[in-house]
Structure 1
């Protein structure tokens, strides 16, 4: 079988630690090109992966041999590059958050439909074993009716991860658009929609910039969310968790409680109303520490969708619905009102 020729646009940490190593490990892929406005970064990774280096994405997309691209740029470039790539006949895997507005997201979705190419958004939390197991349990009625949840995603901030450290685009509103809620919170809105199998209809939020002196985007956010059936819960996203990362989710149901990624050994613990406790060791969640980002399964899912000509695991529409919850949270903080979604 002819290998899929991949181009990676943006040579920062997410490309270096997740996209490129996972593409290299996939038997159906040939890494054909990389692109970054910083020529040194592009050249370095091109040499490492025996690929061609570009400094403009337009030049990369003009290469007729490239079948698909990863968009790993600052947030404000996700939509324009994705739309251009789809119109150029390339399949696209776009990092999260997929866009900076619902209008941009819709334009991306429409470009995919018009071109007939795949568009997938890189929400990796759906592929964590404990999260998939929890979804199965909830769907089978294992803990009965769901009443509530709490979910958090926080760490010390992107400066320890980003290629530019404290000078990273993550902290600049004109490039990032949104801070911790876009970096971390949108992962959890996507995860909760996936696990609960419902859409959120209302959100209230408090969003602050208190931990990062060099930022003009949010670094700490706490949201209250409500689903269409009346499940209510909280979501926290923060760059102010200075000691240990928190990436936990707890689901409260009539027959028991699911604790996901809340224990260092057991990635899923079920505490039943009867007093019975069941513990699962399913493997750890992806993390920025110790190379954990290279096990996301996102790349393999994207490649499979191309090879088998199937719908991507996280479509543009799914990405937009998860983004809309975050956009509503921003609006709630600004207006000091509960915001209805959609």
Structure 2
């Protein structure tokens, strides 16, 4: 069987730490082209994998005709690159947030459908073992209904993560459009929707630039969410957790509480009202300091090879994006936004 020909468009940190090494682990994949506006960056990977180098993704799509692409570009380019790739007949894995407007997300979904290709969004939190375990426990029914929750994602900011440090596109509003909310908040809106098997009904939010100098993208957000089921909770995204990363979720339920990512060894803790406590060591949640395999690439590739539609589809990505967009609207208007 011939290998799946994959091109990586954008060779920054997410490509370096996740996409490229995870494709390289899969024997059914051949990395055929790398694209970056910084040609040297693309060349270093092309030399390593015997692939072609491009600085313009349109030329790459026309000349290489890859079977699939990873789009690891600044947020504002996600839609146009995804649509171009779909129109070139390539399956698309796009980083989150999938787009910066609902209209863009719709156009991406339509392009994939029109061309008969898959569109998957890199919402990796659904695949992290503690989150998978927590969902299994919730679905068992032992905790009963989720009543309230908090979910947060914070770290010291992209300057320590991005390949360009403080000069990164993450801080430039025309390219990023959104800051901590696009980077971290959208992960948590996706996670809470998936964990609770529920949709967000209402959003009220403070989305602000609290501390990062010289940028007008948001570095902190605190959101109030009400789910369709009636569950209420908070979603927090922050680039100013200077004393370490937090990616934790606590769900208070009828019969007890489930804590995810609150303890270094016991990644999932269930405390029931009858006094019993369960602790699960199920593998960590990936952090910027400690990169663990995300599972996203494997899921994308297997979906293409088996013809299985992606679980983390464009439609799913759009619903998670809409929560974040509602938070910005709430900040601007001072109102509770209904979805």
Instruction: Give the TM-score taking structure 2 as reference length.
Output: 0.99
- Matched with 2:103 is 103
RMSD over aligned Cα atoms: 0.8
1:70 shift after superposition? 0.3
- Matched with 1:285 is 285
The answer to whether the Cα contact below 8 Å between 2:118 and 2:304 also exists between their aligned partners in 1 is yes
1:222 shift after superposition? 0.2
The answer to whether the Cα contact below 8 Å between 2:33 and 2:64 also exists between their aligned partners in 1 is no
Q: Deviations over 1:95-138 (max 9, x none)?
A: 00000000000000001111110000000000011111111121
- Matched with 1:146 is 146
Q: Provide the rounded CA distance (Å) in 2 between the counterparts of 1:65 and 1:245.
A: 40
Counting only pairs closer than 5 Å after superposition, residues 152-163 of structure 1 correspond to structure 2 as: 152-163=152-163
Structure 2, gaps ≥5 residues long: none
- Matched with 2:82 is 82
The answer to whether the Cα contact below 8 Å between 2:31 and 2:49 also exists between their aligned partners in 1 is yes
The answer to whether the Cα contact below 8 Å between 2:154 and 2:238 also exists between their aligned partners in 1 is yes
Q: Provide the rounded CA distance (Å) in 2 between the counterparts of 1:219 and 1:159.
A: 12
User: Which of 319-328 and 294-303 deviates more?
Assistant: 294-303
The answer to whether the Cα contact below 8 Å between 1:302 and 1:313 also exists between their aligned partners in 2 is no
- Matched with 2:256 is 256
Q: Provide the rounded CA distance (Å) in 1 between the counterparts of 2:138 and 2:270.
A: 12
Q: Deviations over 1:237-283 (max 9, x none)?
A: 00000011000000110111010011011110001111111000001
Runs of 4+ in 1 over 2 A off after TM superposition: none
1:144 is paired with a residue whose SS is: coil
The answer to whether the Cα contact below 8 Å between 2:65 and 2:90 also exists between their aligned partners in 1 is no
1:63 shift after superposition? 2.8
Counting only pairs closer than 5 Å after superposition, residues 1-342 of structure 1 correspond to structure 2 as: 1-290=1-290, 292=291, 294-341=292-339
Q: Deviations over 1:51-106 (max 9, x none)?
A: 11111000111135410000000000000000010011000000000000000000
Q: Provide the rounded CA distance (Å) in 2 between the counterparts of 1:152 and 1:217.
A: 19
Instruction: Give the TM-score taking structure 1 as reference length.
Output: 0.98
1:185 shift after superposition? 0.3
The answer to whether the Cα contact below 8 Å between 2:10 and 2:36 also exists between their aligned partners in 1 is yes
Q: Provide the rounded CA distance (Å) in 2 between the counterparts of 1:28 and 1:195.
A: 31
Q: Deviations over 1:203-242 (max 9, x none)?
A: 0001110120021100000000011110000010000000
The total of aligned residue pairs comes to 339
The answer to whether the Cα contact below 8 Å between 1:123 and 1:314 also exists between their aligned partners in 2 is yes
2:142 is paired with a residue whose SS is: coil
2:282 is paired with a residue whose SS is: coil
1:165 shift after superposition? 0.3
Q: Provide the rounded CA distance (Å) in 2 between the counterparts of 1:340 and 1:215.
A: 29
Q: Provide the rounded CA distance (Å) in 2 between the counterparts of 1:299 and 1:152.
A: 25
Q: Provide the rounded CA distance (Å) in 2 between the counterparts of 1:100 and 1:307.
A: 29
The answer to whether the Cα contact below 8 Å between 2:133 and 2:282 also exists between their aligned partners in 1 is no
Q: Provide the rounded CA distance (Å) in 2 between the counterparts of 1:64 and 1:142.
A: 52
